[in-house]
Amino acid sequence: MNHIRCRLDPGTRLVLRGDNVFIFRARPLKVWKVKRSAFDLLARCDGERTLGEILSTLGSINVKDAHAFLEKLAVEGVVQLEHRWTAIEPPPVSVVVAVRNRAEQIVECIQSLLQLSYPVDKLEIIVVDDASQDSTPEQISKFPVKAILMSEHIGQSACRNAATRVANGEVVAFTDSDCVVDPGWLSTLVPLFADPRVGAVGGIVAPLSRASKLQRYEEVKSPLYQGSQQKEVGVDSSPSYLSTCNFLARKKALEDSGGLDESMALGEDVDLTWRLCELGLKVVYSPRGKVHHRHRDRVREFFKRRALYASSEALLLRKHPKRRRLLFLPVAFLLSLALLSAGLAITNLPLALFAIAPFIAELALKEFRLARVGLRLPLRLLVLSTLRSYGAALYHILSNLSRYYLIPLLLLGLISPYLLAVASIALLTPAIVDYLLLRPALNAVSFFAFYILENIAYQLGVVIGCFRHRTLLPFLPRVRFV
């Protein structure tokens, strides 16, 4: 654990109030009261020194206790942890690529793998040809890799499982045949396995080309893109899975989990991620280990692929019913919204103005709770923080509406202008927020067009999947009032 480097998240502040020490985050508003020793530790988290080096200057904190404390704060987004090799020997890694009928693309993929900066004596490359009918096997034979040639088409999951069984590496890394990896792909992700509790790791998936508008949309909205922050994959957190085009796991973890489900044509990577989590293993996403993927640049293929991805949700939830999406509903915000809507609907101004009462009550409750631990914050900061939380709640609710219930709302909108307005707001508000936050390299009109198309495709796919697997679980979220 001495190799871990940590740094405070830019949105975190340490506050001293007499004998009391607080960790404070404004977005969202959270406050933790900690001991002075914890304050001394966090104050030294500059991202340069290792945990061992920091603790050597303190002397009063146990390494295990410090690591456990920092991990809890990392889950909350307070600190960012980074694992690096020091004197620890890098483990042997087997890179597995399954391919079928991609003669040109597999050449680029293998060439990028041969340029990896990982120690050559610790690296094994296994390419499994899934009974290709073109020149793919001949292209593979030109490179110094271990080739497995299937006599009949068995699917990419079966190919990956077959390669895993013969892999010599302690860690098995998956990427796709239409991907090109960065030279530092393994050297930046493998160090995360220095934590023995980590079972799998995934990295960022970036577009190989940004030539078309659709590719630039995919750069920020592809389901393969999991964000710019390192996070632990969890039941109710984002990201909730790792993609097999950038997926590293301990070979033992893959064996214990049973590997990829060979009966699943889609969603097998999500299923594997969830099963690894169910084994009690940590699964970590890091944006540092990069793989470049050939995103689709034709609208028809884009629409079809999004629908296919969505159709796997029904089967996934039948296998993992506890993984249903979680819908957060803030009570005070819903009360304010209900009062405002009712007041406007019946043109009752006093009732509409009374919508501010739940907001004031929430402010008062936050002020009371902070005062109990001896901390007072400016009213302006409390107001802004609460308004931001309301905005996040509205985005969360509308995103769910537009992704899962847009088509019914639009159909009802044909007979009710009010429902048509709700559907329009549900669709456009998240799109506008995403455009402003993600800052894609394309104009707003193109972004909104792809966004609408994606939501329609996803919803059609979910309907198809529900019909095929005889379940409504994707439409029945778990609700948590906060």
Topology classification of domain 93-297: Spore Coat Polysaccharide Biosynthesis Protein SpsA; Chain A (3.90.550)
Among 42-46, 299-303, 433-437, the minimum mean pLDDT is found in 42-46
For the chain, the first-to-last Cα distance in angstroms comes to 36
Residue of 130, 144, 202 whose CA lies nearest to 171:
202
Q: How far apart are CA 259 and CA 434, in angstroms?
A: 35
Handedness of CA 60, 63, 69, 70 (dihedral sign): positive
pLDDT tens for 163-221 read 999 999 999 999 999 999 999 999 999 988 988 889 999 999 999 999 999 999 999 99
pLDDT tens for 216-264 read 999 999 988 888 878 888 766 677 899 999 999 999 999 999 999 999 9
Per cent of the chain over pLDDT 70 is 96
Main-chain dihedrals φ then ψ at residue 222, nearest 5 degrees: -65, 145
What pLDDT is recorded for position 83? 65
Q: Where in the chain is the domain with CATH 3.90.550.10?
A: 93-297
Residue spans of alpha helices (H) in 322-416: 331-345, 349-353, 356-372, 379-404, 406-413
Q: Is the peptide bond before 144 cis (omega within 30 degrees of 0)?
A: no
What pLDDT is recorded for position 231? 83
Query: Quick one: tokens of 429?
Result: 């508000």
Please check the confidence at residue 18 and state whether its pLDDT lies above 80. no
Among all chains, which residue has been given the structure tokens 């593979």? 140
Main-chain dihedrals φ then ψ at residue 394, nearest 5 degrees: -65, -40
**Is the pLDDT higher at 285 or at 89?**
285
Topology classification of domain 4-83: Outer Surface Protein A; domain 3 (3.90.930)
pTM of this prediction?
0.87
Q: What is the DSSP letter of 373?
A: T
Query: Quick one: tokens of 190?
Result: 């493998």
Q: Where in the chain is the domain with CATH 3.90.930.60?
A: 4-83
Cβ neighbours, 10 Å, residue 299: 14
Q: What is the mean pLDDT of residues 57-65?
A: 76
Please check the confidence at residue 87 and state whether its pLDDT lies above 50. no
Q: What is the DSSP letter of 92?
A: P
